[in-house]
């Protein structure tokens, strides 16, 4: 797993392309942290671009930068089945899992 492929969702570190991700709970607040290639290339700002259930209700929010060059934010899980997301910086460079984006299942319990 390359450091540039690492991000964190709900305090579980995952990385690499096409990684199997944990589920998030419907209605919960979920924290997402990112330290991937955009952060490694000294992006001044990183944004979480996300939607639900096949990219419906899309939002883009600025993430908070830490002294360790990682970025984090918190979102509310409003979808039914899946959370879809990727990252971009202020220069409009994208980290989108090699064009596949990331998808996390949503649990209902």
pLDDT, tens digit, for every residue of 26-43? 888 888 888 889 988 899
pLDDT of 86 strictly over 70 = yes
2: exposed, middle or buried (C-beta count within 10 Å: 0-12, 13-18, 19+)?
exposed
Per-residue pLDDT reduced to its tens digit, 52-71: 999 999 999 999 998 888 88
Contacts of 99 (CB under 8 A, 6+ apart): none
Predicted structure pTM score: 0.82
Q: How many CB atoms lie within 10 A of CB 108?
A: 9
3 state DSSP class of 89: strand
DSSP labels, 19-75: PPPPPEETT-EEEEEE-SHHHHTT-S-EEEEEEETTTEEEEEEEPEEPTTS-EEEEE
State the DSSP code for 80: S
Answer yes or no: are the C-beta atoms of 50 and 63 closer than 8 Å: no
Q: How many CB atoms lie within 10 A of CB 54?
A: 10
pLDDT of 83 strictly over 50 = yes
CATH (residue range 3-12+23-107): 2.60.40.10
């Amino acid at each position: 797993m390359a450091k540039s492929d690492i991000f964190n969702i709900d305090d579980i570190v995952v990385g690499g392309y096409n990684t199997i991700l944990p589920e998030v709970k419907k209605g919960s607040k979920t924290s997402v942290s990112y330290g991937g290639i955009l952060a490694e290339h000294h992006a001044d700002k990183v944004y979480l671009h996300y939607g639900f259930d096949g990219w419906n209700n899309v939002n883009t929010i600025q993430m908070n930068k830490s002294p360790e060059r990682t970025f984090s934010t918190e979102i509310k899980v409003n979808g039914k089945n899946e959370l879809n997301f990727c990252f971009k910086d202020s220069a409009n460079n994208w980290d989108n899992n090699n064009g596949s984006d990331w998808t996390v299942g949503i649990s209902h319990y």
